Structure 1
């Protein structure tokens, strides 16, 4: 299973949230993966995906938001390594018009190219819209190989509106032409981590962070020519664990919430992940011995475990 598919499966299991967020997520998905067929007086809306979990989520979103069950069809592929295609279909003209209107996909009887202003007002709806866009037309590479996340859309206006949504979360995306449409992409690992956080792919975020930290540590270790080989594995593992703990604290409560002694050590560890405890102690003001540094690190790790446990209980 690819990293992108794991992330999408995680998102497909998320709670739906309020009706405004359901509409925002569904609007993004229909915009990017939906087609309207008109034949005489018959109007049909088809929404496709190759992900079974996403198809179930689409079906449930339609049912919960509009109080009717669309058709769910499966087109099976006989060729190896080809996923089945799942088709969510609404075949009644009045229901199609209702869906397109509620989701802000038509304006004055014509297809809307941008994002409905209603989905830009609240942060929860902006998150939901971006989640729907990623589920529909997004991908993220395995961080072991490269840092790359992208979303494809047909319309330039829609691409610019998506970029504007991302900017509200401090994420600067690039846009390029791709075939007949436009591709939004990120290559900065920090920005990809923030995007995964925004859309709620927290397990994927942690997996991405673990790989990123390990890769960074490997690169740093390779440059430390005087580092004792026998202690590399143990030191790197401890440093990775400490960095993970501090980053979790930073995300949950911020380093400024720490006591000054712990805050100074936490920032030094982030700045110098390759440093030994003794070296960190020498950087402190006033300097501190290895045992004292170790004691403070244990306090930081204990706090991170407490915060993680509180987060799980809150769910």
Structure 2
């Protein structure tokens, strides 16, 4: 998923200097990317990651924070896994590391969720928890009806801990199970943008939100572009596309445009979100909505006729992609 890769590339570059935030991020990453294994009777900590850059960054954090030298292994991923995978393993001193990071409790029991000190930490620590979890097992889908930011979880307890961290960050998230896999899902568009920004993916959040807004406008245009006089009062969104045609019409006609048609076109451009009825009230003298609609239709028809005669693109060429579907 290109969006997911962009978000992760930005998050990999985030460097929070606070030790507690670094520990929170690394612990969450280890918990959501594999966690604990038993190798030759010894406790091993392993993270299976989807990029070499992330694997090397994780190894560096382990060395700097805990003084362990992990093993880096290239794992051949399956089609379901989406390509090559990279394992970061700590076998020597693996149990000690597991206790230090809170993956094992003092009685050597596996912590199925996240250490309590992380989920009740400061806002930067909570953001770091989400950053680590997303780097390990997160995905972001395109804006639209099915848009979602999701994190696959190793257990339902880990999912609930992540939901709690999200709520403390002011992000609405829900835990659910899909095909037997616990997941934490953020679906609200504003919540997705807020989650991305909180994690540190500021550029990705802005880009995602821009695409979302553009698609929402196009969706509105697609619903209303074939409106008739009976629903013109609800055409505020469709006016966005109409303005593009009017601007093109005035450009095509230039000085040849009749004054009364030019005035109607300029009125449309000056009040882009107004209904035709409202445009009529802005005119001097006032016009009915039918009169405004008629003048704009004649303006567009005259421009399209001239464009056809001159062999140049007509007013429809200025309509955003998808608006004429």
TM-score scaled by structure 1? Answer: 0.68
How many residue pairs align between the two structures?
A: 243
Q: Deviations over 1:67-126 (max 9, x none)?
A: 2321112134698x952221111121xx21222112111112100122212212211110
Structure 2: where are the runs of 5+ without partners?
Answer: 233-238, 248-267, 275-281, 283-325
Residue number in structure 2 paired with 1:38: 38
4+ residue segments displaced more than 4 Å: 76-79
Moved more, 213-222 or 96-105: 213-222
Q: Distance in 2 between matches of 1:229 and 1:201?
A: 32
**For residues 220 and 77 of structure 1, do their structure 2 counterparts lie closer, same or farther at Cα, with a shift above 3 Å needed?**
closer
Contact 1:23-1:102 within 8 A present in 2 as well: no
Q: Deviations over 1:22-43 (max 9, x none)?
A: 1111111111112433356533
Residue number in structure 2 paired with 1:132: 132
Residue number in structure 1 paired with 2:258: none
Residue 191 of structure 2: SS of its match in structure 1?
helix
Contact 1:139-1:151 within 8 A present in 2 as well: yes
Residue 193 of structure 1: SS of its match in structure 2?
helix
**For residues 234 and 135 of structure 1, do their structure 2 counterparts lie closer, same or farther at Cα, with a shift above 3 Å needed?**
farther
**For residues 41 and 213 of structure 1, do their structure 2 counterparts lie closer, same or farther at Cα, with a shift above 3 Å needed?**
closer
Residue number in structure 1 paired with 2:207: 207
Residue number in structure 2 paired with 1:269: none
Contact 2:33-2:47 within 8 A present in 1 as well: yes
Residue number in structure 2 paired with 1:5: 5
Q: Distance in 2 between matches of 1:145 and 1:55?
A: 33
Residue 111 of structure 1: SS of its match in structure 2?
coil
CA apart distance, 1:178: 2.6
**For residues 42 and 229 of structure 1, do their structure 2 counterparts lie closer, same or farther at Cα, with a shift above 3 Å needed?**
closer
**For residues 217 and 234 of structure 1, do their structure 2 counterparts lie closer, same or farther at Cα, with a shift above 3 Å needed?**
farther
When the two chains are superposed, the root-mean-square deviation of aligned CA atoms in Å is 3.1
Residue number in structure 1 paired with 2:115: 116
Q: Distance in 2 between matches of 1:173 and 1:78?
A: 29
Residue number in structure 1 paired with 2:163: 163
Residue number in structure 1 paired with 2:243: 231
Q: Distance in 1 between matches of 2:116 and 2:246?
A: 53
Residue 114 of structure 2: SS of its match in structure 1?
coil
TM-score scaled by structure 2? Answer: 0.66
Q: Distance in 1 between matches of 2:246 and 2:89?
A: 55
Residue 83 of structure 1: SS of its match in structure 2?
coil
Q: Does 1:189 align with 2:201?
A: no
CA apart distance, 1:195: 0.8
Residue 106 of structure 1: SS of its match in structure 2?
coil
Contact 1:32-1:137 within 8 A present in 2 as well: yes
Aligned positions of 1:1-315 closer than 5 A: 2-39=2-39, 42-76=42-76, 83-92=83-92, 95-107=93-105, 108-119=107-118, 120-143=120-143, 146-222=146-222, 223=224, 225=227, 227=239, 231-232=243-244, 277-278=270-271
Structure 1: where are the runs of 5+ without partners?
Answer: 236-274, 282-287, 289-315
Residue 113 of structure 2: SS of its match in structure 1?
coil
CA apart distance, 1:205: 0.6
